């Protein structure tokens, strides 16, 4: 498409992209609108298009039906713990892969990357059995410990360290008598800012949205994360749609805020595997 | 930041990589590799979850035999393939021209536009699927009401069904409903991938083509498409792998059961049910390996379809 070629084509392109953008945004808009309506007014003809005044009531129903604040707390706790562990372990391992030569380096790296290609459902059943054997059912660590061995995290960290931590700096520190852990803490870590930000965001979002693992290991409603808690509100007979929409909106809002402030970094990180 | 590292923690450069790797590698072996081997082991065993690990017994290929004869398993494979195609193919057919339009026409607001298209990808599948299950509701769901609204426009009247559609209650409508959500969720991700590929095409290629009098469409066909072919390979592979793992949307929209006549039962969802609803861990593990073989096969076919041809193109 050549932009200089006449205005008609350009306006057509604007129109198509604009309509597409509206379609992308509309479900979010209705999620927030529905969150402020009662169950009966969500399902009326014509459907509600503007915000109403039922949000507080919906939240009341939400927190009296399920331990929603607790669920929100677990989601936050698991996401933060998962992010912290992943950042620490992946930056350490990524540093080792980027800067050191050691036995089994290549085979280990290939092995780790290979698991990135394997579908998640392959590990679903054995992971449940391992968690059961460890006594980690209903334990938040069942959610954040396994995830810390993130192949994508290692890949991202290795690429970043390889391209932006100068080898000479590491060597010079070593000459000056700085220990290996000191080098990691004082030289490597402070240079990892952008990579930490990107991987941190990706890990936080993935953990926040994760459904299948909590579904398998969290059996008590008190320990549910938000996606599970919302799902438990769905009932074939009598679903409290207003409360459900309020819960969904609360679960989505933090991600939207996070995304508004970091979309460029996040997008470049998530597509890092694609763009050489 | 002058943090003192205690002498006892000093390690030689020869040991450093092992120390740095040890936490990651420990977790990787326990939660990454071991489950994989264990899953293969389970696939050849029968096991009663209620009576502990001791009741596990070797059954040879019986789990695979069971999987391959199970009509629900085949139904789920059919559903999964249908969904992967119906949600996946349009994703690319629409994402590519969208990326071209955005690349050509949006300079100042590009980041905002890209952000809007990307947003569905980062939000919770569960929250979104729950929202859509209300939009798809029969009597007063927004989607049925919108369709009804369209029926007042004379030209479109013949395209629109007469009564409200029972999207989630009738076998023939469940899959399209799921496909709509999946399409909505991933189309923007593909736009971003294709936009990245478009950046790498040299501008003078288009300038030279314009000089030679090539039309926009010819340029798209002869320059743009061949140039983004490697990205198409990558993006389609991701769609295949992701599409065949579909779980969250199907689970929420069908209440975790697969829907009327199992029309929304994806294989990942059926694996979950086989293990956790029907207590057959061995059978479910065998199914997961069959599905994995299918994923590998389709990935390989994608590779063949997009393998770079002669440079002359």
The pLDDT value recorded for residue A276 is: 41
Closest-CA distance, A196 to chain B, in angstroms, reads 16
What is the rounded CA–CA span in Å between residue A144 and residue B27?
Answer: 11
For residue B186, the model assigns a pLDDT of: 93
Which residue in chain A has the smallest CA separation from B279? A125
Give kind and range of the element (H or E) at residue B45.
strand B45-46
Task: List CB contacts (< 8 A) between B137 and chain A.
Answer: 43
Chain B contact set for A115 (CB, 8 A)? 28, 32-33, 36
Average pLDDT, chain A: 88
Judged by CB atoms closer than 8 Å, whether chains meet at A30 and B142 is answered as yes
Least confident of B140-154, B209-223, B269-283: B140-154
Separation of CA A128 from chain center: 21
CB contact under 8 A, A20 and B117: yes
Question: How high is the pLDDT of residue B293?
Answer: 93
Question: Who wins on pLDDT, B67 or B53?
Answer: B67
Mean pLDDT of chain B: 87
Residues of chain B neighbouring A10 (CB-CB closer than 8 A):
104-105
Report the Cα–Cα distance between both ends of chain A, in Å, rounded.
25
Residue A37 exposed, middle or buried by CB count within 10 Å (0-12, 13-18, 19+) = buried
User: CA dist A25 to A19, A44, A218, Å?
Assistant: 10, 22, 32
Q: Answer whether A255 sits within 8 Å of B33, measured CB to CB.
A: no
- pLDDT, position B87: 93
Q: Can you spell out the DSSP letters for B90-154?
A: HHHHHHHHHHHHHHHH-STTHHHHHHHHHHHHHS-HHHHHHHHHHHT-TTT-HHHHHHHHHTTSG
CB contact under 8 A, B120 and A88: no
Q: What is the pLDDT of residues B273-307, one digit of tens each?
A: 999 999 899 999 999 999 999 999 999 999 888 87
Q: pLDDT band at residue B6, thresholds of 50, 70 and 90?
A: low
The three-point CA angle A137-A141-A145 to 5° equals 120
pLDDT at A235 exceeding the cut of 70: yes
pLDDT value of position A181? 85
With bands split at pLDDT 50, 70 and 90, how would you rate the model's confidence at B24?
very high
Alpha-carbon distance of B262 to B260, in angstroms, equals 5
- Under the phi-then-psi rule, with left for phi > 0, alpha for psi from -120 to 50, and beta for the rest, what region is A183? alpha
pLDDT digits (tens, 9 = 90+) for A181-225: 888 888 899 999 889 999 999 999 999 999 999 999 999 999 999
B26 band by pLDDT with thresholds 50, 70 and 90 = very high
Closest-CA residue to A12 (of A120, B35, A3): A3
Half-sphere exposure of B302 (CA within 13 A, CB side): 22
The answer to whether the Cβ–Cβ distance between A231 and B130 falls below 8 Å is: yes
């Amino acid at each position: 498409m050549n932009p200089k070629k006449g205005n008609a084509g350009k306006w057509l392109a604007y129109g198509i992209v604009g309509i597409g953008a509206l379609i992308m945004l509309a479900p979010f808009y209705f999620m927030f609108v529905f969150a402020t309506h009662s169950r009966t007014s969500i399902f009326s003809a014509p459907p509600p298009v503007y915000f109403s005044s039922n949000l507080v009531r919906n939240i009341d129903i939400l927190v009296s039906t399920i331990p929603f604040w607790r669920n929100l707390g677990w989601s936050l706790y698991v996401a933060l713990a998962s992010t912290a562990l992943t950042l620490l372990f992946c930056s350490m391992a990524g540093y080792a892969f980027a800067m050191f030569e050691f036995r089994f380096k290549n085979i280990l790296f290939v092995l780790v990357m290979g698991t990135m290609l394997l579908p998640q459902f392959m590990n679903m059943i054995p992971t449940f059995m391992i968690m059961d054997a460890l006594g980690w059912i209903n334990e938040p660590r069942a959610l954040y410990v396994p995830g810390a061995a993130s192949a994508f995290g290692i890949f991202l960290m290795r690429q970043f360290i390889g391209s932006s931590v100068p080898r000479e700096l590491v060597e010079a520190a070593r000459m000056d008598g700085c220990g290996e852990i000191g080098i990691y803490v004082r030289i490597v870590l402070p240079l990892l800012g952008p990579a930490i930000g990107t991987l941190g965001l990706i890990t936080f979002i993935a953990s926040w949205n994760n459904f299948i693992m909590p579904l398998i290991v969290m059996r008590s409603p008190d320990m549910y994360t938000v996606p599970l808690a919302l799902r438990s509100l769905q009932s074939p007979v009598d679903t409290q749609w207003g409360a459900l929409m309020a819960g969904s909106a609360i679960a989505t809002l933090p991600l939207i805020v996070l995304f508004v402030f970091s979309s460029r970094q996040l997008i470049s990180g998530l597509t890092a595997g694609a763009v050489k | 930041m002058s943090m003192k590292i205690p002498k006892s923690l000093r390690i030689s450069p020869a040991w450093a990589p092992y120390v740095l790797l040890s936490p990651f590698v420990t977790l990787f072996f326990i939660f990454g590799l071991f489950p994989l081997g264990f899953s293969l082991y389970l696939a050849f065993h029968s096991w009663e979850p209620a009576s502990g690990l001791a009741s596990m017994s070797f059954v040879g290929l019986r789990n695979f035999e069971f999987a391959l004869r199970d009509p629900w398993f085949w139904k789920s494979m059919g559903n999964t393939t249908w969904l992967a195609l119906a949600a996946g193919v349009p994703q690319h057919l629409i994402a590519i021209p969208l990326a071209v339009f955005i690349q050509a026409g949006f300079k100042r607001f590009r980041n905002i536009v890209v952000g809007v298209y990307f947003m569905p990808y980062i939000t919770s599948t569960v929250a979104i699927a729950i929202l859509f299950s209300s939009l798809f509701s029969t009597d007063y769901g927004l989607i049925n009401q919108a369709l009804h609204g369209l029926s007042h426009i004379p030209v479109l009247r013949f395209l629109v069904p007469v009564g409200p559609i029972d999207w989630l209650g009738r076998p023939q409508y469940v899959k399209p409903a799921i496909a709509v959500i999946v399409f909505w969720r991933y189309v923007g991700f593909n736009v971003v991938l294709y936009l990245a590929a478009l950046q790498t095409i040299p501008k003078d290629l288009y300038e030279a083509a314009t000089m030679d009098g090539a039309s926009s469409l010819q340029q798209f066909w002869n320059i743009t498409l061949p140039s983004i072919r490697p990205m198409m390979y990558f993006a389609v592979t991701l769609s295949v792998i992701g599409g065949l793992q579909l779980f969250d949307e199907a689970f929420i929209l069908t209440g975790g059961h697969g829907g009327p006549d199992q029309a929304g039962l994806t294989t990942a969802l059926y694996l979950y049910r086989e293990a956790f609803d029907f207590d057959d861990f061995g059978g479910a593990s065998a199914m997961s390996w069959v599905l994995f073989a299918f994923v590998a096969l389709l990935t390989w076919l994608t590779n063949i379809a997009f393998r770079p041809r002669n440079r002359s193109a």
